[in-house]
């Protein structure tokens, strides 16, 4: 008599590995808000404690209420114990591929991180890679589990959410779902179908490139805008006036961005990953990097022509990498500060959201002591400023043009 297969029992529908960070936590909260039993595993004990208390370790609009509801209902928990990985039917891994100081990606970073907790995986689980990975990493992870003799299903379902908008976009944007077989794709689609009805199926390598193409395209667009800004500015013209005019009721130019610091933990890094994937033959990507990463030095050089910076106190408004965020990862405001410290008499910096940098000063003190202001992150709190000082505002946040 054939024995009937009994699927294993799991305490959690989903375990999110690295789930207390900017990518994992909103996803865990979203799954829990849809009634799934979710557990966060993270080695950051401080972040796990914050989440367990119903606090967010970072800003994410609309997340705090859903977090507290999920904790109260018992659908969400958090731990630093890796054993919890073995208790999840689905395991979402939020570990990406970094680039080193030479801009080379490390394709072994994700398999290596999984090796550290490999003893906790078991047959029958669905393993979902969520963060951006170098093309081919999904296959490396598949092979790693095969070598360990584990019968798990591996999928790549990339995150494509704008930081700060996760609690809207997780439910509204299409989800790319990639796996080696239709059965595994269907299993992953069923999981993410709890969040969105729009599922797009791909092969793993297609999805890996789709994520890199997405971020690189944004980075290149920002570089084009910043190059246009420099061209106009070098001739005494205001890029934002030109941009507004050419885009007015003209849909083919509607997506031309304004000038500004193109930074953060993804766009530059992913452009460099794509460059490495193309054997460093990606001239467009490298050119975009030179433009975007060169913008702080361009601003300081222009200011040095106009002012005697060596005798001035310069105030930097906003140290996060983008507006209404507390995230300083790869923020070009810090590059701007380093350059100014070499050129100016004194540099004062402030940000209403960043609490991790103890060198930052209150806005009132910066406004009182500075001779010149630079808006580095266009937080709304700066929009109504009317200082008597000159203000460098390449974002045109104050509506007075973007000329320097």
> In the chain, what are the domains?
12-202 (3.40.50.720), 211-392 (3.40.50.720)
b/e map 56-85, b = 16+ CB within 10 Å: bbbbbeebeebbeebbeeebbbbbeebebb
- Identify the band that residue 380 occupies on the pLDDT scale cut at 50, 70 and 90: very high
Residue 28, classed as helix, strand or coil, is: helix
CB 271 within 8 A of CB 219: yes
How many Cβ atoms are within 10 Å of 3's Cβ, its own excluded? 5
The predicted pLDDT at position 100 comes to: 81
* Nearest residue to 262 via CA among 210, 230, 218, 316: 218
- Tell me the β-bridge partners of 347: 314
CA dist 343 and 175 (Å) reads 47
Report pLDDT digits (tens) over 77-123: 999 999 999 999 999 999 877 888 777 888 888 999 999 999 999 99
pLDDT band at 7 (very low <50, low <70, confident <90, very high): low
Q: How many CB atoms lie within 10 A of CB 273?
A: 30
pLDDT tens digit sequence for 343-372: 999 999 999 999 999 999 999 999 999 999
Per-residue DSSP letter, 230: H
Cα(264)–Cα(243) distance, integer angstroms: 24
Residue 8 has a pLDDT of 63
Residue 199, pLDDT > 50, answer yes
Q: Rounded to an integer, what distance in angstroms lies between the CA atom of residue 250 and that of residue 233?
A: 23
- Name the DSSP letter for residue 322: S
| pLDDT band of 6, cuts 50, 70, 90 | very low
On whether the pTM is more than 0.85, the answer is yes
Q: Which of 328, 394, 322 is nearest to 360 (CA)?
A: 328
Query: Which tens digits make up the pLDDT trace of 232-286?
Result: 999 999 999 999 999 999 999 999 999 999 998 899 999 999 999 999 999 999 9
Dig out the tokens for 259 from the structure: 């000038």
């Amino acid at each position: 008599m054939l024995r009937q297969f009994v699927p294993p029992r799991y305490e959690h529908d989903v375990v999110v590995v690295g789930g207390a960070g900017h990518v994992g936590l909103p996803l865990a909260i979203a799954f829990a808000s849809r009634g799934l039993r979710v557990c966060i595993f993270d080695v950051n004990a401080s972040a796990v404690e914050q989440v367990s208390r119903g606090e967010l370790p970072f800003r994410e609009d609309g997340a705090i209420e859903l977090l507290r509801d999920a904790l109260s209902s018992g659908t969400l928990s958090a731990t630093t114990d890796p054993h919890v990985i073995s208790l999840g039917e689905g395991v979402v891994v939020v570990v990406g591929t970094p680039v080193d100081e030479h801009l080379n990606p490390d394709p072994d970073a994700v398999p290596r991180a999984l090796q550290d907790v490999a003893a906790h995986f078991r047959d029958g689980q669905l393993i979902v890679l969520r963060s951006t990975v170098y093309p081919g990493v999904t296959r490396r992870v598949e092979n790693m589990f095969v070598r360990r003799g584990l019968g798990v299903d591996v999928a790549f379902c990339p995150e494509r959410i704008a930081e700060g908008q996760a609690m809207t976009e997780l439910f509204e944007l299409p989800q790319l779902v990639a796996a080696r077989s239709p059965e595994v794709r269907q299993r992953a689609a069923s999981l993410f179908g709890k969040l969105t009805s729009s599922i797009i199926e791909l092969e793993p390598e297609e999805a890996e490139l789709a994520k890199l193409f997405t971020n690189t395209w944004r980075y290149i667009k920002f570089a084009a805008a910043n190059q246009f800004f420099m061209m106009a500015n070098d001739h005494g013209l205001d890029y934002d006036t030109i941009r507004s005019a050419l885009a007015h009721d003209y849909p083919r130019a509607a997506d031309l961005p304004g000038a500004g610091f193109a930074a953060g933990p993804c766009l530059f890094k992913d452009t460099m990953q794509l460059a490495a994937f193309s054997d460093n033959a990606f001239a467009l990507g490298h050119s975009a990097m030179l433009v975007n990463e060169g913008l702080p030095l361009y601003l300081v050089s222009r200011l040095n022509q106009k002012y005697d910076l060596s005798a001035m106190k310069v105030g930097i408004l906003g140290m996060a990498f983008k507006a209404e965020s507390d995230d300083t990862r790869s923020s070009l405001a810090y590059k701007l500060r380093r350059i100014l410290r070499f050129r100016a008499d004194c540099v004062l910096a402030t940000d209403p959201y960043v609490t991790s940098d103890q060198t930052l000063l209150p806005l009132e003190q910066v406004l009182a002591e500075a001779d010149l202001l630079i808006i580095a992150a266009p937080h709304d709190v700066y929009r109504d400023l009317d200082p008597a000082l000159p203000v460098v505002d390449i974002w045109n946040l104050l509506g007075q043009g973007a000329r320097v």
